[in-house]
Chains A and B, each alone.
Chain A
Amino acid sequence: MPEKSNLSRLVGLAALVTFVAGSWVGLFVVPADAAQGDVQRLMYVHVPAAWLAFLAFFVVFLMSVLYLIQRDLRWDRVAASSAEIGVVFTALTLALGSMWGKPTWGVWWTWDPRLTTTAILLAIYVGYMAIRSFADDPEKRGRWAAIVGIIGFTNVPIVYLSVIWWRTLHQPPSSPRSVSPEILWTLMLNLAAFTLIYVYLMMRRVRLAEVEGKLEERMAYHG
């Protein structure tokens, strides 16, 4: 056990360092976007958050499949942890997207395909966590959650495609904006930072889930 917490401390430290570096660069070093001004800096948090939201759900999907095959509760715990972390980042993505939209386009919400898909992803996450709350039996809980996770994730690319088609039919597609290398590198840096944050949070959360699982077991056998 000591080795594990050392590793997570290391990851946490790395996450902190990259996050601070990324924030510093994003806020103060990189020049502001010519067209959008300082608001564009929100991208450095919004895009990584979105990346995490989807990565986390992909992990939920993987773990769900693994659980259904092997019926090992460890996979279910990882899935549940990833969902918890993912839902936070999904909400963050939406909030940031909204915050960015107001000064840029004058509206709190746009039906941008990626934002819309993220909103639906949030609904899928909520459904996933909700169905977990209805089962006391860990095996049943894992099974139901895994099913919802698999179906939910399969739906995400389909939703994305359909929303894109929906928008392009009503609007001409936006021309791709070229991105300067400095912006790209800052983005990469923040992406790395957020990924490390995710890994760190996952390590802590899964450990916690293991302890919770043992506690559940003990309480049940005593009762």
Chain B
Amino acid sequence: MTASVEAGSLAVELAGLSKRFGWNRVLRGIDLRVERGTTLALVGPNGAGKTTLLKCLATLLRPSGGEGTVCGFSLRSHPDEIRERTGLLTVRGYVYDELTAEENLRFTARMSGLRVPGATLESELERVGLARAAGQRVRTFSTGMRKRLVLAQLRIRRIELALLDEPYAGLDTEGMALVDAYVRECRDEGITVLLASHQAGEATRRAEQTALLRDGRLHFVDHDAAAATHLSARDLGVERP
């Protein structure tokens, strides 16, 4: 593994990144610099391309144009190294209903190339409060329980960049607290976090910076103003081009 990073280097650096599906240009020239260890809120209306951007960073989508590095590795030439260091949290998460929580976690560990003893799996499940449900099939889980499992999946891997796509969707207070705790932990451990949400206030309150994705373009906005308002381009001081 090449040592690619110096202290204080960027977790994400994008120059003109674009992504289109057929002729639908979802991302049009994104420039972004995120320093290691920061928490960035990515806000924007539904369908603005937040998920697309996160998936590009997670190397699930190939960019149509532009350049980018994630955790110091080029998106185009070293996607594998990026995947090793990046974790993506989607709304539903990728869990198998017919497997138990523990089996799901074991699968994640194996697929991530980790040799994880059973005791570690148990303790990880305990940390997210699923110790008692470890042997239950996920089919029986509530949304909150699924989210806990997905967080455990993220935690068990040693990632440097956490990409959270609408992490608060469908959660009750307790579930939200869980996600908050995770975000705080990431900050403590120096893990960079990108938090995407269509509800500006929710995301910006937990972040240090805010970026607005609109019409395929990214604008950095005044963080305090964003934290205090609902989403509106005019309110945030971003004019339509």
Which A residues have a C-beta under 8 Å from some C-beta of B?
Answer: 136-140, 216-217, 219-221, 223
B24: which of A139, A217, A220 is its contact (CB, 8 Å)?
A: A220
The 10 closest A-B pairs by CB, nearest first: A220-B23, A137-B22, A136-B22, A137-B21, A217-B23, A221-B23, A216-B23, A220-B22, A138-B22, A220-B24
Give the CA-CA distance A131 to B20 in the complex, in Å.
21
Residue of B whose beta carbon sits closest to that of A135: B22
Q: Specify which chain B residues have a CB less than 8 angstroms from the CB of A216 in the assembled complex.
A: 23
Which B residues have a C-beta under 8 Å from some C-beta of A?
Answer: 21-24, 64
Q: Specify which chain B residues have a CB less than 8 angstroms from the CB of A223 in the assembled complex.
A: 23
Give the CA-CA distance A19 to B31 in the complex, in Å.
59
Q: Specify which chain B residues have a CB less than 8 angstroms from the CB of A221 in the assembled complex.
A: 23
Q: Specify which chain B residues have a CB less than 8 angstroms from the CB of A217 in the assembled complex.
A: 23
Question: Closest CB-CB distance, A215 to chain B, in whole Å?
Answer: 11
Give the CA-CA distance A140 to B23 in the complex, in Å.
12
Q: Specify which chain B residues have a CB less than 8 angstroms from the CB of A138 in the assembled complex.
A: 22
Q: Specify which chain A residues have a CB less than 8 angstroms from the CB of B22 in the assembled complex.
A: 136-138, 140, 220
Question: Closest CB-CB distance, B65 to chain A, in whole Å?
Answer: 12
Give the CA-CA distance A157 to B144 in the complex, in Å.
56
Which of A216, A219, A220: most chain B Cβ within 10 A? A220
Give the CA-CA distance A211 to B21 in the complex, in Å.
21
Q: Specify which chain A residues have a CB less than 8 angstroms from the CB of B23 in the assembled complex.
A: 136-137, 216-217, 219-221, 223
Q: Specify which chain A residues have a CB less than 8 angstroms from the CB of B24 in the assembled complex.
A: 220
16 examples of A-B residue contacts, CB within 8 angstroms: A136-B22, A136-B23, A137-B21, A137-B22, A137-B23, A138-B22, A139-B64, A140-B22, A216-B23, A217-B23, A219-B23, A220-B22, A220-B23, A220-B24, A221-B23, A223-B23
